[in-house]
Chains A and B, each alone.
Chain A
Amino acid sequence: MHYFANPTRFQRLMDILRPWVVGVMLAMLAYGLLAGTVFGPADRLQGESVRILYIHVPSAWMAMFIYVAIAAASFVALVWRHPLALIAARASAPIGAVFTLLALITGSLWGKPTWGTFWVWDGRLTSVLVLFFLYLGYMALWQALEDEEKAGRATSILALVGTVNIPIIKFSVDWWNTLHQPASVVRLDGPTIDPSMLWPLLAMGLAFKAYYVWVLFARMEALMDARRVQAAQLRAAQHAAGGAL
């Protein structure tokens, strides 16, 4: 695992993977969007508004997936002090927060024609809102601590504490009030969604995931470059001081 702790090596890996990631993303996006929104069927009950599903559901998946990814990366960073894991966790947070916000916005736009209201205090909506707050807190803590090394470990602890609390929050909020339809894709007795919608949906899920990896690479590169610039500036300052430091 530490083979890729070297940023230059990791950079090479990113350069190799990037075209594939972008290719998968474009292919899946093209199939998913065309099959879902142009050629796919409308819903018997909900009509055309059901097509927002192809954005809403993958966004919600990514919102949860990225938080888990942050937690996993934080664990690796805390236990093995892996520097890239920390950068990956930090770079993931804003992407996850945007997907969470997207899930909330598309859900609210979908809720208006189908439930008759933009927002209800329903279990699943509320737990996604709480997840959004967790993302904001994680990013705020990164901003607040100046020492990058300490900020990294503090945010990792926070991410892990948040993660063990997510099931409790989710369960408590579900128990509190539920209006949202139950899960219809991942079920023990197989999906209840029609294949003509399921395949485009899964393709969109894959496209979103590839998009995440693509943006993650760009953000990680930016963070690593920023660190290099900082190191170079420090060296230049030391040089200017004539080695007096």
Chain B
Amino acid sequence: MTAWWTLMLRDLRLAWRSGGAAGLSLGFFVMATSLYPFGLGPDPVTLASVAAGLIWVTAMFAALLSLDRLFQADFEDGTLTQLLLSKLTAPGIVFAKITAHWLGVMLPLIIVSPLLALILGLPGSAIGPLMLSLVVGTPALSCLGAVVAALTVAVRRGGALMTILLIPLFVPSLIFGAASVEAGLVGTDPSGALLLAAAVSLFALALAPVAASAALRLAAE
């Protein structure tokens, strides 16, 4: 357990050090979101009606950007092989990486999301549901991302490939996450979509450590 914490905290620190994934993803998330009004026009009604979906899609892209280095640095300098030889189980390593990714990269995005909701004109009453949907839905992104990151770890410039592989897998989280905010906006019960988003996350959490560790062992052979 100590080893697991050490690995998780190490990854968390690395994400936040300069050149880490967290700052870049956060910057991308904020800047990309501020581009939408230029493309869609400044009309507050239009922006408010699409704000929740835009924030969800942008969070997805920010996750994609950060995920391609999830295992790669450790794979390139041999750390990954050492980790696989250590007392930690392979699924345990993956789970530590997923936890660190979610805490280090996704959680900061969720924390700044109210700011983006405000500049896109999302009604104040929808900000709580938006954050809740991101908290519940984004663990699936970290988990599925870990599987694909492990599969493409040996591919040079695997980032574009990861995007192609991950986008179809992200669809359910996006649908349920954005729909729960939408339901809150039009006054229907958002709990159904929210629970389904949670279900997708839990399912991904059960699947990812096993699938990703199979892929990692393959790459480290």
Contact = CB atoms under 8 A, between A and B. Distances in A.
Given A133-B168, A141-B161, A153-B218, A168 B203 contact: yes
B16 to A, nearest CB: 30
Nearest to B156: A144
B195 interface: no
B218 A144 contact: no
A157 B172 CA distance: 20
A172 B196 contact: yes
B56 interface: no
A173 B196 CA distance: 12
A154 B168 contact: no
Interface size class of B (residues with CB under 8 A): 20 to 34
B200 to A, nearest CB: 6
A140 B165 contact: yes
Interface in B123-177: 144, 147-148, 151-152, 154-155, 158, 161, 164-165, 167-169, 171-172, 175-176
Contact of B151 (A130, A134, A141, A164): A141
A130 B168 contact: yes
A83 interface: no
A154 B169 contact: no
A218 interface: no
Interface residues of A, number: 27
A169 B171 contact: yes
Interface of A is mostly: helix
Given A133-B168, A140-B161, A141-B165, A161 B147 contact: yes
B161 A150 contact: no
Contact of A172 (B144, B161, B176): B176
B152 A144 contact: yes
B175 A175 contact: yes
B218 A154 contact: yes
B167 A133 contact: yes
Contacts of B171: 130, 169, 172-173
Contacts of A136: 164
B207 A154 contact: no
Name, among B144, B155, B219, the residue most crowded by chain A CB atoms within 10 Å (CB to CB). B155
Nearest to B219: A150
A33 interface: no
B164 A145 contact: no
Contacts of A158: 148, 151, 165
A161 B207 contact: yes
Contacts of A140: 161, 164-165
Contacts of B175: 172-173, 175-176
Given A145-B155, A157-B214, A160-B211, A150 B172 contact: no
Nearest to A131: B168
Contacts of A162: 168-169
A154 B161 CA distance: 13
B179 interface: yes
A169 B207 contact: no
Interface of B: 144, 147-148, 151-152, 154-155, 158, 161, 164-165, 167-169, 171-172, 175-176, 179, 196, 200, 203, 207, 211, 214-215, 218-219, 221
8 contacts: A133-B164, A133-B167, A144-B158, A145-B155, A150-B154, A158-B151, A158-B165, A161-B144
Interface of A: 130-131, 133-134, 136-137, 140-141, 144-145, 150, 153-154, 157-158, 160-162, 164-165, 168-169, 171-173, 175-176
